[in-house]
Amino acid sequence: MENNLIEATNLSYAYRSATGPAVKALDGVSINVRRGEMVAITGRNGSGKSTLARHFNGLLMPSAGRVLINGLLTTEKKNIPIIRRAVGMVFQNPDNQLISSIVEEDIAFGPENLGVPQEEIRTRVDHALQVMELESLRFEAPNHLSEGQKQLVAIAGVLAMQPECIILDEPTAHLDPRGRRDVIESVLRLNKEEGITIVWLTHFMNEAAKFNRMLIMDSGSIVMEGSPRYIFRRGSEIAAYGLDLPVTTCLAAGLHRQGFNIRPDITDPEELVNSLCLLKQ
């Protein structure tokens, strides 16, 4: 399948432990991510989602099974630089990712390391700033920015490496509600306008609801997979995996149960308001 950017087959991974037996973090996971797709991976803390994501750019190597990125095995040492260029990572805490004292220098760091010519770096930095709507912060010091803005800068830094895919590991966990909204909106835009494949890890269900496809992980396995609507129709199953329905879906499902003609799987607040608007007439 040449359309698959990420192809993981029967992937297992065990963390070594100094004292006890090895802890199995992934247990026979198979997943494909197509080029240009956006996928949300959810699951409670410790479900294995970060461990899975770290296999997608060769930060971790499978204990069993295999991972192909653009058809290249992550276990082949010579593939790693190519894979890391294709798949960028953004972590939970932007402070762990920002290193320079000026925003534009931070964004230039990646391409500089790749040996990109100066002129080209300038073009890439300009582009990343523009796409992330950060032009006004170009000469700021990252430590003067809000957490949300820092996270946007971290994403811009990855963007300047011109990856085909960006993996974001709970990128909104430390942000306030406004920062959260800014980050998810710009990432959705990256997918739509730049065609970048997005893998988004979260346990905020209202974030997952914005993706075309979502996966739920539990105890190192993928336990549910489908569109947000498909998944959110199964409220009690989700609860068993330690997750909640989005507030909008709770409202829709509650009204549906009371006998009103409302789809119980609505995930978008606007859609809920529109349906209720129709019902009122």
Partner 1 sequence: MPIETVNLSFSYSKGTPFEQEVLHDIDFQIKDGEFVGLIGPTRSGKTTFAQHLNALYIPQSGRVIVDGLDTADKHTDLVYLRHRVGYVFQNPDYQLFAPTVGEDIAFGPLNQKLDRNEVENRVRVAMDQVGLDYDTFHDRDIYALSGGQKRRAAIAGVLACKPKALILDDITTGLDPRGRDDILRIINILHREQNITIIFISSSMDEAAVLAERIVIINQGKIIMDDKPRRILEKIDELRYLGLELPEVSMIMEKLRRVGYKLPSDIICVEEAIGAIAAALREGGGQ
Min CB(268)–partner 1 separation in Å: 11
When the beta carbons of 71 and 254 are compared against partner 1, the nearer one is: 254
d(CA 131, CA 195): 12
The 3-state DSSP class for residue 90 equals strand
Question: Among 74, 79, 151, 206, which residue sits at the site for partner 1 (rule: CB under 8 A)?
Answer: 206
Contacting range for partner 1; rule: CB under 8 A; set: 71-79, 135-143, 211-219, 273-281: 273-281
192 binds partner 1 (CB under 8 A): no
Q: How many CB atoms lie within 10 A of CB 100?
A: 15
279 binds partner 1 (CB under 8 A): yes
Question: Tokens 């085909």 — which residue?
Answer: 164
d(CA 20, CA 182): 43
269 binds partner 1 (CB under 8 A): yes
Min CB(60)–partner 1 separation in Å: 19
How many angstroms separate the Cα of 185 from the Cα of each of 190, 191, 214, 232, 275? Answer: 9, 10, 17, 21, 24
Question: Among 55, 124, 203, 210, which residue sits at the site for partner 1 (rule: CB under 8 A)?
Answer: 203
Min CB(157)–partner 1 separation in Å: 20
When the beta carbons of 17 and 113 are compared against partner 1, the nearer one is: 17
Question: Among 178, 185, 192, 194, which residue sits at the site for partner 1 (rule: CB under 8 A)?
Answer: 178
Helix, strand, coil share of the chain (percent; to 5): 45, 20, 35
Question: Among 41, 129, 243, 265, which residue sits at the site for partner 1 (rule: CB under 8 A)?
Answer: 243
Q: 220: which DSSP letter?
A: T
Q: Which helix (H) or strand (E) holds 108?
A: helix 103-113
Subset of 84-113 contacting partner 1 (CB under 8 A): 92
d(CA 160, CA 245): 35
Pairing of strands 72-73, 23-34: unpaired
Helices 118-131 and 177-194 cross at an angle (nearest 10°) of 120
Contacting range for partner 1; rule: CB under 8 A; set: 78-86, 109-117, 153-161, 174-182: 174-182
d(CA 224, CA 233): 12
Min CB(177)–partner 1 separation in Å: 3
147 binds partner 1 (CB under 8 A): yes
Question: Tokens 């230039």 — which residue?
Answer: 108
50 binds partner 1 (CB under 8 A): no
* Binding interface with partner 1 (CB under 8 A): 44-46, 92, 146-148, 170, 173-174, 176-179, 181, 203, 206, 242-244, 246-248, 250-251, 254-255, 258-261, 269-270, 272-273, 276-277, 279-280
